[in-house]
């Protein structure tokens, strides 16, 4: 014991402090999520491994040793959705940079006008705006369009007679990349049970990526914005437009200082985990 205390110095204290901070932040990130429940199960497995080393449990110890060699890979596979979510919150950015502010505002005007018209007609809609994380795996399963963003096109896509009106429209690089896209539903057990499939899909894609989602409810004839798993409901036309500008348009003065290698890193990692989730 005395030998341990003699070896304990400033760097040892700093080492322990850094580990404590890291574990504390991890616990804060996963608190109340599916990952927290899985972590409890993993701790039970670790406890079983410790017991197999303390007591003469030969078979259990052999099995745990085989399991331990692949422990890191297993953790990455199990927590891939949560890892992707953490990376998306780190790399979240705007999509319309102020080099062409008039074009950005025009696209937002088309989106808000279309959403308002759809809400007035009680027609449901789901519009996903890609930001930092590439949504290609969702675009690929939809109907490719590569069309400019306009109120008329959006109205025709979501008209009840359209064969692709039930899916989502995904915007990439200021254009309509695809329609009729299927999105993952949220797994959050605390979501309002009154929310329908369309809202749950909007929350789901915003939890897994940094996308911004516009939802039009056919039942309530209302509009909502979903970002980071948080839904802002019952927006009027003016508020919707203001929120879209605030969340999607950034002027040169407010342009985030993100280096090219940082952006590429987030994209490559998100693509890697995105493929892993298929």
Report the CATH fold assignment for 96-252. YojJ-like (1 (3.40.1700)
If you average pLDDT over residues 121-148, what whole number do you get? 91
Confidence bin at 50 (pLDDT 50/70/90):
confident
- Give the integer Cα–Cα distance in Å for 34 and 116: 36
Strand partners, 181: 168
Higher pLDDT, 166 or 77: 166
- Is pTM beyond 0.75? Reply is no
Domain spans, the chain: 2-90, 96-252
pLDDT at 114: 96
Confidence bin at 249 (pLDDT 50/70/90):
confident
pLDDT at 5: 62
Give yes or no for residue 160 having a pLDDT over 70.
yes
How far apart, in Å, are the Cα atoms of 112 and each of 1, 27, 123? 69, 39, 14
pLDDT at 255: 47
pLDDT for 30-41, tens place per residue? 665 556 666 777
- Give the integer Cα–Cα distance in Å for 102 and 205: 28
pLDDT at 33: 54
Cα torsion through 162, 163, 166, 169, rounded to 10: -80
pLDDT at 122: 93
Which of 90, 92, 95 is CA-nearest to residue 127?
95
pLDDT at 94: 52
């Amino acid at each position: 014991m005395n030998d341990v205390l003699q070896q304990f110095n400033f760097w040892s204290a700093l080492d322990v402090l850094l580990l404590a901070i890291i574990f504390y932040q991890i616990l804060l990130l996963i608190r109340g999520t599916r990952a927290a429940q899985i972590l409890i199960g993993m701790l039970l497995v670790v406890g079983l491994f410790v017991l197999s080393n303390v007591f003469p449990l030969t078979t259990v110890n052999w099995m745990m040793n085989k399991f331990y060699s692949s422990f890191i890979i297993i953790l990455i596979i199990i927590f891939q959705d949560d890892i992707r979510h953490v990376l998306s919150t780190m790399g979240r950015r705007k999509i319309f940079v102020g080099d062409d502010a008039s074009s950005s505002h025009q696209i937002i005007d088309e989106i808000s006008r279309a959403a308002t018209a759809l809400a007035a007609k009680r027609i449901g809609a789901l519009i996903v705006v890609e930001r930092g994380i590439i949504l290609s795996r969702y675009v690929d399963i939809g109907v490719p369009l590569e069309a400019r963003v306009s109120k008329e096109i959006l109205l025709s896509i979501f008209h009840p007679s359209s064969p692709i009106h039930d899916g989502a429209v995904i915007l990439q690089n200021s254009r309509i990349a695809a329609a009729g896209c299927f999105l993952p539903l949220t797994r959050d057990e605390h979501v309002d049970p009154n929310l329908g499939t369309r809202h749950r899909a909007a929350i789901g894609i915003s939890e897994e990526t940094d996308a911004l989602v516009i939802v039009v409810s056919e039942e309530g004839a209302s509009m909502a914005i979903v970002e980071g798993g948080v839904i802002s409901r019952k927006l009027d036309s003016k508020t919707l437009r203001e929120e879209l500008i605030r969340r999607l348009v950034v002027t040169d003065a407010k342009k985030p200082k993100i280096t090219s290698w940082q952006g590429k890193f987030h994209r490559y990692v998100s693509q890697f985990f995105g493929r892993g989730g298929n």
